[in-house]
Structures are given as structure tokens and as C-alpha cells.
């Protein structure tokens, strides 16, 4: 496996012309991969086709892997198109014949031009900037005749330390092969794999539980016929039962933030060291949870949450999708595919305790409910060991929540107008409490009684450095955030909170996404460069006092 990360030649084909084809582009500079071209000073926030080029020495059948890019792309090998990407943030695996041994040219044409088609997974009206680039690592290898293509480890019994291990072989694999399963470098257990697939219940020797407090990780090396595949995993269980979220059989309260994996200087290609720092800040504050909004997460995020002990809600892409998207066959097929790929990619990460999709879809419509049912079924089929949810912003009108395991509300009392609080300029603690209680009456419905409940978004904006006691000031935001944390800490029926949001994130400020001064969603408790606002410090104090 060769990493193709590094500097690639780059040429920009402007926004007005038709895309001329990769071979007609002038390569004027070099840019880093992973990276987003529209954060570079020369191309800042420009729309067009960014063309990346590199040279690769190889030959014969190869497997080229992109861990995530977007919003759209086409791939060319020696000038010939070898595939497209319409699933932003998803892993793309291309298998093709690279031709004769020697030097070859790989071109990736990344398209961030306006695209509001109803089949698009990343149209321009979402409330987070549509950066163009190769967001995540790229690698290539010579395709072996066959390989251990997939290993899924599902902890089943955390008293005796038993995990169900599924192995799938890929390529021209032998019909019968002996496989060795070695945990943490110990003497292997031997099983036979017939027909390229098998599931085995195996005991993890001297296992230790994974939890937020003790994030112990184990390794499993599977080897068969000279091939090896190694995975890291954790022993822990997650259940939604009796209205509670249980991790390792014990009720947990999730406390944390929505986090966009984004930075003004790097777009969606946030360097590993910065990702690590973000997550450490959240953990050090006394929180235990992030909602990775609103797309499949990078391996960097998930690896670090595994190690640090932070719970993660991971979700496939969606943002307020309405009827025209929900009834578009291509859109639905892309949702299915992205959700399936996400589940398979993340299955062994113990940090992922909730799987979701379709943030704030029109869950009051029949096509919305059908899609929720289909996506939940895909997650159950691929994984089945984690509760499934989606963030609902219309809980009183919704018809889709009965299809999932956990109820998650995106609600904004104290910010967006609502019956209790429209026109209120100063923070009204009583109004907030009344509004929250009203939402919680929904939990008494018989079909919801046994489902855990989470506040998946809540918050208000503060312009960094803007002071006073009315909306948009740091003081107002701090009062709101503290009141919400206090409410959730005291509310028995509430299994979690993800404040909207960790830090300010680039968006737009136009007719479709108005009230985004500076072009940012300003509801971060930190600004976009991770400088704390008053609310961050106030919440830190509050959590410390609460013993977190």
C-alpha cells in the first residue's frame, strides 16, 4: 500500500466555463493532499473545477482508495475516466488495470460548482460551506489475487468476553481456507472459512471493557493463506432499553457538542493535530460526547475518540431535505449507498454508539418515513449492534420517529421564534424551561415510552467579542448554554445533549441561509479558530461544579 498523500500539481478551471477536461487544464501550482483548494489564498471561496494531478509508478491490476472527497469528482488514469464520486465524505475504492509497469498519471477533477439538483447529496443550501477538495488520505496498492476484504467484530457478551467476528474474502479466494485469529498477539485460534465468508464466536483473552473512563482497545489479526488483516476494536455494548441508553449495561448521559470537521484554513481537511486538540478540549471540559454532524466521520476523528474515550454519533449526509429530494430515486439510492458504506467503515470503532442519517429531513411526510425505515434497515443489516436515530426538528408533526431506537430532537427555544419566546431579546430562563417541558410531553406517548431521548441540537449564536445582555452577545449565549446543561443534568428522562455547537463554522449569509453574520454559523461556544467565548468558560465551570 503506497500513500499518495503529499503535494500534487494543481490547476483551476474557472467557474463560468464548461469543464474543459482534465487534459486541457493548466497546472499552475502545487497543493497539499489531503486539502481543500478553496481555502488557499489564490482560490479562496472560488467555485469551479479544481484539478489535482500526481504521478504513480505501478502496473497491472491496482486498487486506488480515497478516504473521502467532495462535493463531486471524476477520476482519470492516463487521461481515461476510471470513475466518479457522487458521495461526498465517503470512501471510494477504484479497482482497475493500471497498464504496463512504469509511470502513470492520476488526475482528480474536483467540482464545487453550484449544484442544487435534487439528486445531490451536498447541494448549496446546507448550512455549512461546500468546500471542494480531497478531504482525506489517498492510497494505492497492487490488487492481490484475493484478500481478506472485511473483518467485523461485534462484542456480544461482555461478561465472558465473547465477540462475533465476521470475515469476508474478496477476489478469487479459495473455497476452503484455514484462518488464524490472534487477539493482541496471542496464540491464534483456528477456524475454517468456506465460500469466502464466515462468522465465528471467539473469546477475547484477558479482555478489558471499553468505556469513556477506561477506553481499553484490543487488536485482532486475522490471517489466512498468507494474507493478513488487522483491526483495532473495543469490548463494549450499547442498548436502548426502558427509555435509557445503556453502555455496558449501565445508563449513560451523553454530554457534549455537535462538531463540524471543518476549519477556515483547511476546510474539511482538518490536520490530525487539530482534530486531536478539538476532541481533547471537549473531553477536558468534562464532556463525553460528540455528534459528528452532518456526514460520515474521518478515521482520524474516530481513532482519536476510540483512544480518548469520547462517545460518537455518526451520521450520513443530509440537511433539511424536502419532498423533491426524498422522492428522487437517485437521491434515495445515494443515501442507501452512503449509509451502508459508513456502517461498514466504522463498525469496529467502539466510540461510535449511535448511528444516524438525514438530519432534519421532512419526517412528517410519507416518503420521509419510508427513507428512515430503509436506512434504519440498512444499518441493522450491516451492524445491528448500535441504536439508530435521526435528528428531528419537527417532533410534534413527525411520523418517522417510531422507526428508530432513539428519539433525538433539534430544538431551539431561546433562539428561533417559538410560541413561548418569540420577540424575546433578553434571556428568559423560565420561558426556556417551559418550552423544554412542552417538548418532553411527547415522551409520554405510548410508542415513545421505552425509547431513550436526546437533545441533539440546541443553542444560540454569539458574535465573538460582542457583549451586552441581548441576543447575539456572548453573555446571552452563555446564559442559554448553562441553562440547557443544567436542565439536562437534572432531567432523568433525558439521555443526552449535543449543544449546537462546538465552534463557529463557515456557512453562507444569503437568501437561503440568512442570519449568518460574517458568513459563519456563529453558534459555536468557541469561535472558528477555537478561541473560547464566554459560554465555553461558563459551561466548563458548571461541569466542574457538577463533578464532571
Contacting residues toward ligand ADA, per CB under 6 A: 127, 359-360, 393, 410, 457, 500, 521, 523
- Write down the least CB distance from residue 470 to ligand ADA, Å: 18
Residue with smaller CB distance to ligand ADA, 143 or 410: 410
Q: How far is the CB of 521 from ligand ADA (least distance, A)?
A: 5
Of 299, 339, 347, nearest to 151 by C-alpha is 347
Report how far apart, in Å, the C-alpha atoms of 134 and of each of 108, 314, 437, 444, 448 are: 9, 20, 44, 46, 42
Nearer to ligand ADA, 233 or 500 (CB): 500
Full strand arrangement of the beta sheet holding 61-66: 2-3, 138-142, 61-66, 92-97
Residue 167 C-alpha from the chain's centroid: 25
For ligand ADA, the nearest residue by Cβ is 127
Q: In the bound complex, what is the minimum distance in angstroms from residue 464's beta carbon to ligand ADA?
A: 16
Least Å distance, CB 170 to ligand ADA, is 37
18 Cβ neighbours under 8 A, 6+ residues apart: none
Cβ nearer to ligand ADA, comparing 400 with 410:
410
- Shortest separation between residue 360's beta carbon and ligand ADA, angstroms: 5
End-to-end Cα, the chain, rounded Å? 43
C-alpha cell at 157: 457478551
Closest contact distance (angstroms) between CB of 135 and ligand ADA is 18
* Contact in structure between 125 and 513 (CB atoms under 8 Å): yes
Give whichever of 238 and 391 is closer to ligand ADA, judged by the CB atom.
Answer: 391
Contact present, 188 and 209 (Cβ < 8 Å)? no
| 391 versus 483: smaller Cβ distance to ligand ADA | 391
For the CB of residue 410, give the shortest distance to ligand ADA in the complex, in Å.
4
| Cα atoms in the Cβ-side hemisphere of radius 13 Å centred on 170 | 11
Would you call 543 exposed, middle or buried from its count of C-beta atoms within 10 A (0-12, 13-18, 19+)?
middle
Q: Which is nearer to ligand ADA, 7 or 396 (CB)?
A: 396
Number of helices and strands in the chain (H, E): 8, 32
Rank residues 458 and 539 by Cβ distance to ligand ADA and give the closer one: 458
- CA dist., res. 268 & res. 273, Å (int): 14
Amino acid at each position: 500500500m503506497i500513500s499518495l498523500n503529499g503535494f500534487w500539481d494543481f490547476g483551476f478551471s474557472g467557474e463560468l466555463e464548461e469543464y474543459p477536461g482534465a487534459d486541457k487544464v493548466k497546472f499552475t501550482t502545487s497543493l497539499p493532499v489531503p486539502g481543500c483548494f478553496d481555502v488557499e489564498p489564490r482560490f479562496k471561496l472560488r467555485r469551479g473545477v479544481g484539478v489535482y494531478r500526481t504521478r504513480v509508478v505501478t502496473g497491472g491490476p491496482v486498487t486506488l482508495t480515497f478516504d473521502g472527497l467532495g462535493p463531486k469528482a471524476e477520476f482519470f488514469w492516463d487521461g481515461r475516466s476510471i470513475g466518479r464520486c457522487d458521495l461526498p465524505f465517503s470512501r471510494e475504492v477504484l479497482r482497475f488495470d493500471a497498464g504496463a509497469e512504469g509511470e502513470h498519471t492520476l488526475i482528480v477533477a474536483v467540482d464545487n460548482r453550484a449544484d442544487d439538483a435534487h439528486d445531490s447529496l451536498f447541494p448549496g443550501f446546507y448550512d455549512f460551506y461546500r468546500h471542494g477538495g480531497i478531504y482525506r488520505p489517498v492510497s494505492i496498492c497492487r490488487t492481490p489475487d484475493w484478500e481478506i476484504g472485511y473483518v467485523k467484530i461485534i462484542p456480544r457478551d461482555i461478561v465472558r468476553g465473547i465477540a462475533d467476528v465476521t470475515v469476508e474474502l474478496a477476489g478469487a479466494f479459495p473455497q476452503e481456507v484455514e484462518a488464524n485469529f490472534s487477539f493482541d498477539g496471542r496464540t491464534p485460534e483456528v477456524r475454517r472459512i468456506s465460500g469466502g465468508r464466515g462468522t465465528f464466536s471467539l473469546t477475547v483473552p484477558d479482555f478489558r471493557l471499553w468505556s469513556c473512563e477506561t477506553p481499553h482497545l484490543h487488536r485482532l489479526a486475522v490471517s489466512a493463506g498468507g494474507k493478513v488483516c488487522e483491526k483495532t476494536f473495543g469490548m463494549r455494548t450499547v442498548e436502548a432499553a426502558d427509555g435509557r441508553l445503556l453502555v455496558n449495561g449501565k445508563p449513560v448521559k451523553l454530554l457534549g457538542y455537535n462538531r463540524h470537521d471543518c476549519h477556515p484554513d483547511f476546510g474539511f481537511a482538518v490536520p490530525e493535530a487539530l482534530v486531536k486538540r478539538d476532541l481533547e478540549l471537549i473531553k477536558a471540559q468534562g464532556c463525553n460526547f460528540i455528534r459528528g454532524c452532518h456526514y460520515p466521520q474521518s478515521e482520524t476523528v474516530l481513532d482519536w475518540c476510540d483512544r480518548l474515550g469520547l462517545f460518537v454519533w455518526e451520521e450520513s449526509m443530509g440537511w433539511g431535505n424536502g419532498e423533491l429530494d426524498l422522492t428522487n430515486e437517485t437521491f434515495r439510492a445515494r443515501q442507501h449507498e452512503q449509509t451502508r458504506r459508513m456502517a461498514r467503515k466504522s463498525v469496529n470503532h467502539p466510540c461510535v454508539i449511535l448511528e444516524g442519517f438525514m438530519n432534519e429531513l421532512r419526517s412528517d411526510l410519507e416518503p420521509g418515513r419510508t427513507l428512515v425505515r430503509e436506512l434504519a434497515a440498512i444499518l441493522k443489516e450491516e451492524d445491528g449492534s448500535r441504536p439508530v436515530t435521526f435528528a428531528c426538528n419537527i417532533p410534534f408533526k413527525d411520523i418517522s420517529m417510531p422507526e428508530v431506537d432513539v428519539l433525538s430532537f433539534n430544538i431551539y427555544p431561546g433562539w428561533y421564534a417559538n410560541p413561548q419566546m418569540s420577540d424575546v431579546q433578553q434571556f428568559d430562563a423560565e420561558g426556556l424551561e417551559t418550552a423544554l417541558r412542552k417538548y418532553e410531553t411527547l415522551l409520554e406517548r405510548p410508542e415513545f415510552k421505552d425509547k431513550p431521548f436526546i437533545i441533539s441540537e440546541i443553542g444560540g449564536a454569539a458574535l465573538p467579542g460582542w457583549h451586552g445582555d441581548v441576543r447575539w452577545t456572548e453573555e446571552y449565549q452563555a446564559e442559554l448554554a448553562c441553562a440547557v446543561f443544567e436542565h439536562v443534568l437534572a432531567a432523568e428522562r433525558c439521555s443526552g445533549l449535543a449543544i449546537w455547537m462546538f465552534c463557529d463554522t463557515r456557512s453562507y449569509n444569503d437568501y437561503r441561509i440568512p442570519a449568518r453574520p460574517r458568513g459563519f454559523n456563529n453558534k459555536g461556544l468557541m469561535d472558528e479558530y477555537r478561541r473560547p467565548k464566554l459560554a465555553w468558560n461558563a459551561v466548563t465551570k458548571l461541569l466542574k461544579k457538577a463533578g464532571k
